[in-house]
Amino acid sequence: MTKKTIKMAALLLVSTALVAGCGKKKVDNLPPAAEGTDYGQAANDPNAMGAGQIMPGSQEDFLQQVGQFGDRILFETDRFNVDAEDQAILQRQAQWLAQYPSTRITVEGHADERGTRDYNLALGERRANAAKNFLVSIGVDASRIRTVSFGKERPSALGSDEQAWAQNRRAVTVTIR
């Protein structure tokens, strides 16, 4: 399978589940909050949400503006290159970031479960930095971007199959409030 096919299949799979299972705004396969960040609460924070209102510059706003899965780019096994598809996703993120120049982000790098623990930590670092480097190359100030690797510790998809692994090899952009 080509990378594109895998990515499409992975995203299609989740999209279908989302359409079938929940309202259109709710994205329930977000990774859990990293320690030291509080983006995980954003989706449930009544102050951020208001009554159906989304606070401009918030994580919710970011997710809405970049579109479904626009917060993440996916990678092939052991790879960390940012291809044209990934660049388009990161471009949209950069556009949003340009609107909120005081907002900082964390780029989380992840690996699938089919790797050894330490290597996956290193691989997650490579992926987070690849995404960061592209964002910087298109004008986002490097000082606004923090990176962290979770290796294989925080899978997004829970299966042990190629579709799940394709979703888990990812770099996810998360706003820091």
- Assess 18 for contact with another protein (CB under 8 A): no
Report the residue from 59, 93, 156, 167 that binds another protein according to the rule CB under 8 A: 156
> Which residues are within 8 A (CB) of 79 and not within 5 positions of it... i.e. 6 or more apart?
none
Whats the size of the chain, residue-wise? 177
The C-alpha atoms of residue 113 and residue 120 are separated, in whole angstroms, by 8
Site string for another protein, 21-50 (x = CB under 8 A): ----------xx-xxxx-------------
- Assess 76 for contact with another protein (CB under 8 A): no
> Which residues are within 8 A (CB) of 91 and not within 5 positions of it... i.e. 6 or more apart?
138
Report the residue from 3, 7, 126, 170 that binds another protein according to the rule CB under 8 A: 126
- Assess 81 for contact with another protein (CB under 8 A): no
Place of tokens 């990161």: 90
- Nearer to another protein by C-beta: 23 or 35? 35
- Assess 122 for contact with another protein (CB under 8 A): yes
Report the residue from 45, 76, 83, 153 that binds another protein according to the rule CB under 8 A: 153
Helix (H, G, I), strand (E, B) or coil at 3: helix
β partners of residue 114: none
Residue 37 contacts residue 176 (beta carbons within 8 Å): yes
- Assess 82 for contact with another protein (CB under 8 A): no
At 105, give phi and psi (nearest 5°).
-130, 155
Count Cβ neighbours within 10 Å for each residue of 4-14 and write b for 16 or more, e otherwise. Answer: eebbeebbebb
- Nearer to another protein by C-beta: 31 or 70? 31
Report the residue from 74, 123, 172, 174 that binds another protein according to the rule CB under 8 A: 123
Where does this chain bind another protein (CB under 8 A)? 31-32, 34-37, 78, 80, 113-119, 121-123, 125-126, 128-130, 133, 147-149, 151, 153-156, 158-160
